Each structure stands twice: as C-alpha cells, then as structure tokens.
Structure 1
Amino acid sequence: MDSFKGQGGIQMLLTAEQEAQQIVSAARNLKMKRLKQAQEEAESEVVLYRSHLEAEHQKKLSETSGSSGLTVKRLEEETEMKIQNLKETASKVSPEVVGMLINYVTTVRT
C-alpha cells in the first residue's frame, strides 16, 4: 500500500506541475497579448498626435503666409506715403535751399 501511496503522490505532483505549466503559459500568453495591445494603442496615439501636429503646422504656415502678403502690401503703402511726404516737403523747401546755396557761393568774404 505504501507503493500505491507513492505512485499516487507522484501522479499528484505531475498533475500539479502540468497545471502550473498551464497557468504560467496562460499568464505569458495574456502578458504578450496585453503588450501587443499596448503597442498597438501607442502606435495609434503616435499617429494621431503626429497628424495633430502636422495640422497645427499647416495652419501656422497658412496663417503666416497669408499675413505676410498683407504685411508686405501694408509696408509698401506706408513706404509710398512716406516717399510722397518727403517729396512734398522737399519741393516746399527747395527754393529756400537753392537761394541759400547761391548766396553762399556768390558771397565773397574778404
């Protein structure tokens, strides 16, 4: 009867070992499944974030390119106004300057 108990004990140990291997294998499979799922989620988040950044970049490009055209036009208008003001001021003062220069050139100091 002792040999029967020994055989039964060995059989119980083998059965327990197989169950433990199945539990470990199931845990590994679950872990691998979770890792794969996490990787897929991370990749989808990266794609989403990248597309978000690209959209922001395109928006900023369109804003700056559109406003630069307006800025150039505004600066051209301001420059033209300043040039016109300088021409008007020069035409008003020109006879006085010419007279003053003629006076200095023709006056002889002794």
Structure 2
Amino acid sequence: MDSMRGQGGIQMLLSAEQEAQQTVSAARNLKMARLKQAKDEAEKEAALYRSNLDAEYKSKLSENSGNSGSTVKRLEEETEAKIETLKQSASKVQSTVVDMLINYVTSVKY
C-alpha cells in the first residue's frame, strides 16, 4: 500500500509540476504580450510626437521664409529708392560737373 501511496504522490507531484509549468508559461506569455503592447504604444506616441515636432518645424520654417521674402522685397524697394535719389542728385549737379571738366580740359596752364 505504501508503494501505491508513493505512486500516487509521484503522480500528484508530476501533475503539480505540469500545472506550475503551465502557469509559468501563461505568465510569460502574458508578460510578453504586455511588453509588446507597451512597445507598440510607445512607438505610436513617439511617432505622434515626431509628427507634431515636424509640423511645428515646418510651420516656423514657412513663417520665417515668408519673412525673409518680405525682407528681400523691402530691401529691394529701399535700394531702388536710394538709386533714384542718387540719380536725381547726380542730374542736379551734372551740368556743373560737365562745365568744370570742360573748363579744366580746355584751359592751358603754362
């Protein structure tokens, strides 16, 4: 009878071991599933954050490029105005300068 009890005890131990292995395996699988889920969520958050930063960067870039375009236009207008002012002042003194040059060229010094 002791051998029967021993056999039954061994069977109980084996079944308990198998049950423990199944429990451990199920826990591992659950842990792996949770890790995979966490990794997927982290990747989604990172992609969302990256896209937000990219959109913000592009927005600031377009704002600045618009400003530089208006700056270039403003500078061109200022340059044209200065050129026009110089032309007007040159035309005012042109006849005086031409007379002075003619006077120097035609006068003979001994």
Counterpart Cα distance in 2 of 1:2 and 1:81: 116
CA distance in 2, matches of 1:8, 1:107: 140
TM-score (norm 1): 0.81
TM norm structure 2: 0.81
Q: Does 1:99 align with 2:86?
A: no
Q: CA deviation at 1:15?
A: 2.1
Report the residue type matching 1:5 in the other structure: R
Q: Unmatched 5+ residue regions in structure 2? A: none
1:42-92 deviation digits (Å, cap 9, x = unpaired): 221133123202311331243134323322321122012111221122123
Q: Deviation per CA, 1:16-63, whole angstroms, max 9, x where unpaired?
A: 211221221112111221122112202211331232023113312431
**Structure 1, unaligned stretches of length 5 or more?**
none
**Paired-residue identity, %:** 73
Match of 1:76? 76
